[in-house]
Structure 1
Amino acid sequence: MNSSLVRFAVVLGLLSAIGPFAIDMYLPALPTIGADFGAGIGQVQMSLMVFFVALGAGQLVYGPFSDMFGRKLPLYIGLVLFMIGSVGCALAPSIETLIAFRFVQGLGACAGTVVPRAVVRDLHTGPEAAKLMSLLMLVFSISPILAPLAGSGVIALGGWRAVFWVVLVAAALGLILLALALPETRPVKERRESSIAGAFAAYGLLLRDRRFLALCFLGAFGVSSFFVYLANSSFVLIDHYGLTPTQYSIAFSVNAVSFFGVAQLNGVLGSRFGLMRLMRFAVTGYAASMVLLVALFLAGFDQLSVMIVLLFIAYGFLGLVVPSSAVIALDDHGAIAGTASALMGTLQFGAGIVMMAVVGLFLDGTAVPMLAGIAACSVIALALAFLTPQRSPALAGAPAE
């Protein structure tokens, strides 16, 4: 395997993982935070939701900024903001203060979400881009696989506030990694061609591109299923099924292993069958698995083992959907990759926030509302996969089909 490909994947994956690490380490502590502050589930979940709001909204700025000033500067700014937010969260005297600094933390974290996708597009297109994106996600997978377990250990030793001191250190290490190991991939000549007016024009172009929007929303509802699981799984698995925080962390990690493990097949399978065909096959398997799971629970099979097995299968299929949809969407827009990546990320987080809010209206202490929300995401993604317009003949050069 190309050593430079691996190097870029490691650096970009670790930078991308810092923000999600602040989510996944934090999940086992949600019930404890509520108890410490005397806050209800809704308030505690708000500290998670505002992080997602900031992650989504901030990308609209970071994307064009990275087109105009290069990929590294917004990453520096984002990491510094993230560190400020982490200190504020660690010292928060109330749930309201925690929510406010989680927003600041999210504004910093979104740089690591949007810029790496643009770097991938700077370097590759088609199956090669899918391979790099999947490798990046493999490195990124250290967060959902290890962070909940690490969070449980940190919380046991130092309380939930210690989580934010740990992610502060991770962000400081990210600054060093960024300075020493990531070259600039946006040439100065191309930066001169970008401007604020150009960013607005680019957003207008993207919002008129039905194919781009369909692919973005397809990926967005795939990602939204994670958001629904993130927001509700700790309450369902700990409160409803009686798991300890450590047992919850292991159950949570199982789905991440499936998603990121199967994602490594994107490059090989995309080269052989075409990314679009692969994506449509995978999203069909994803939707079928989730519809079956909801049907079983509605029929009375409220079994944790059934849920874990079928979620494992569903998220394995999803590992072939999310990277492929992102690569296909960005293939047509290399000149504005940062802006396109930003809009994609904002749509993903926007859809995720809406789905979390909708599912929150139906919470009843069981797993059914959470699973129904994930299944709804899968069915919408399936519909979008088969409604995505064919590529314009003028853009048919890139090998994404």
Structure 2
Amino acid sequence: MTVSYFRIALVLGLLTAIGPFAIDMYLPALPSIGSDLNAGTASVQLSLLVFFLSMGLGQIVVGPISDMTGRKLPLYGGLALFIAGSIGSALAPTVEWLIAFRILQGFGASPGMVVPRAVVRDLHTGVEAAKLMSMLMLVFSISPILAPLSGSVIIETLGWRAVFWTVGAIGIFGVVLLATSLRETRPPELRTGSSLGSALIGYRYLLGHGKFMGLTLIGGAGISSFFVYLASSPFVLIDHFGLSPMLYSVFFSINAIAFFTMSQLTGVLAERYGLRRVVRVAAMAHASVMVLLLAVMTAGAQSLWVLAGFLFVGYSFLGLVIPSTSVLAMDDHGEIAGTASALMGTLHFATGAVAMAIAGLFFDGTPYPMVAAIAGCAVTALGLTYLTVGRGREEAPAPAE
């Protein structure tokens, strides 16, 4: 691998991490935001949910635009919106204003989620794409590992509003990084056939493409198990188990380390066993661990250490599912990589938002509803895996370009 290969992964990973930083730094502050703005748990969780929804829905627009205009222009526009939303969130006088600016911030974060996947597909396919995607995820892992820790320090010393000033500054750094360190990977001659009409045709084609939809929904169900954890864990771990924001951040970071460390094996395992087999085995292991966690907690073992141990192992296997399904889903769609990446991202975030909302309806302050929802998502991902890439199923032929 060349120096350029590592540099591309570094830049794409950092750009992708900017939006999630606005989630992960903010998680330890959820209980204190509720107290400061005199808002209930549901309202505070809504400020997280709308960020997910807007970041997901924004991708459906950004993807085709990146096919039509190139990859860099949508990133510039998104970063501008993200910075504006961050400033508004820092100044929000009520939870309603916070929710409104979080929507804007989420739309601004959406290009950073969709465009890097399209850039990976512009440059590579198959095992090489899996290697680049796993390396990108390694860089991206700085967000869930460092963001909660740094966020808790900022919250304890400067208050929760300083978190949004910090992520706004990170957005400005993203603009500088984009301007100086990323070349355009979709040259003008490849954009000539891209238009709003072709995007609609592309979406219709992808929605009817069984392999693409199956792989996308496997990833969506898998990542939903993590989104449920994102939304519920601050209240479970801080309010129920009594952890400080700093200890909560450590707990959260450990699970993120498991996820992203395992994701680094994707390229090696894919080269040896094939991506389809990696998805099958990882989805089975992820679901088995999460169902066993639910069974153990139902039997009465609801200690923090039981929860921590099972989640660590379960999310490590999820680290193999997400990059593998993303690469497999994108392989056949190089001509509409931005559109395909957009639809994938939107479906991932929409699925996650639905799972978060359902889990929130049953939330009672204890770990059980969160664990039940996590297990349900993992089992759904496993079922979709065997429908899509089950043993003996043949690869769908690539469409004619």
TM class by smaller structure: over 0.9
Superposed counterparts of 1:289-300, under 5 Å:
289-300=289-300
| Cα distance in structure 1, aligned partners of 2:225 and 2:302 | 20
| Cα distance in structure 1, aligned partners of 2:113 and 2:59 | 8
Provide the residue aligned with 1:23 in structure 2: 23
The SS at the match of 2:191 is helix
Shift of 1:223: 1.0
The SS at the match of 1:28 is helix
Superposed counterparts of 1:377-388, under 5 Å:
377-388=377-388
Letter in 1 for 2:114: V
Letter in 2 for 1:190: L
Superposed counterparts of 1:329-344, under 5 Å:
329-344=329-344
| Cα distance in structure 2, aligned partners of 1:102 and 1:354 | 18
Count of residue pairs brought into register by the alignment: 397
Superposed counterparts of 1:123-202, under 5 Å:
123-202=123-202
The SS at the match of 1:393 is coil
- Compare 382-391 and 274-283 and name the one that shifted more: 382-391
Superposed counterparts of 1:5-154, under 5 Å:
5-154=5-154
Letter in 1 for 2:376: A
CA RMSD between the two structures: 1.1
Shift of 1:394: 4.5
Shift of 1:396: 11
| Cα distance in structure 2, aligned partners of 1:362 and 1:286 | 23
Give the direction of change, closer, same or farther, for the CA distance of 1:140–1:282 in structure 2 (3 Å limit).
same
CA contact (8 A) 2:332 2:398 kept: no
CA contact (8 A) 2:22 2:167 kept: yes
Provide the residue aligned with 1:280 in structure 2: 280
Provide the residue aligned with 2:365 in structure 1: 365
Give the direction of change, closer, same or farther, for the CA distance of 1:246–1:331 in structure 2 (3 Å limit).
same
| Cα distance in structure 2, aligned partners of 1:214 and 1:274 | 18
When normalised by structure 1's length, the TM-score is 0.98
Shift of 1:203: 0.4
| Cα distance in structure 2, aligned partners of 1:317 and 1:223 | 12
| Cα distance in structure 2, aligned partners of 1:356 and 1:5 | 36
Shift of 1:391: 2.6
Letter in 1 for 2:35: A
Unaligned runs of 5+ in 1: none
Shift of 1:393: 3.1
Letter in 1 for 2:117: R
Letter in 1 for 2:37: F
Provide the residue aligned with 1:210 in structure 2: 210
Shift of 1:148: 0.3
Percent of residue pairs identical: 60
Letter in 2 for 1:392: A
The SS at the match of 2:177 is helix
Provide the residue aligned with 1:264 in structure 2: 264
Unaligned runs of 5+ in 2: none
Provide the residue aligned with 1:316 in structure 2: 316
Letter in 1 for 2:41: I
Match of 1:391 among 371, 381, 395: 395
**Per-residue Cα deviation, 1:85-119 (whole angstroms, up to 9, x for no partner):** 00100001110000000000000001100000000
When normalised by structure 2's length, the TM-score is 0.98
CA contact (8 A) 2:219 2:325 kept: yes
Shift of 1:281: 0.5
| Cα distance in structure 1, aligned partners of 2:143 and 2:218 | 23
**Per-residue Cα deviation, 1:115-146 (whole angstroms, up to 9, x for no partner):** 00000000000111011001000000000000
| Cα distance in structure 2, aligned partners of 1:364 and 1:32 | 19
Shift of 1:364: 1.4
Shift of 1:395: 5.3
The SS at the match of 2:300 is coil
| Cα distance in structure 2, aligned partners of 1:268 and 1:21 | 28
Letter in 1 for 2:257: V
Provide the residue aligned with 1:328 in structure 2: 328
**Per-residue Cα deviation, 1:195-216 (whole angstroms, up to 9, x for no partner):** 1100000001001101110100
| Cα distance in structure 1, aligned partners of 2:203 and 2:165 | 37
Q: Which runs of 4+ in 1 moved over 6 A?
A: none
Shift of 1:303: 1.0
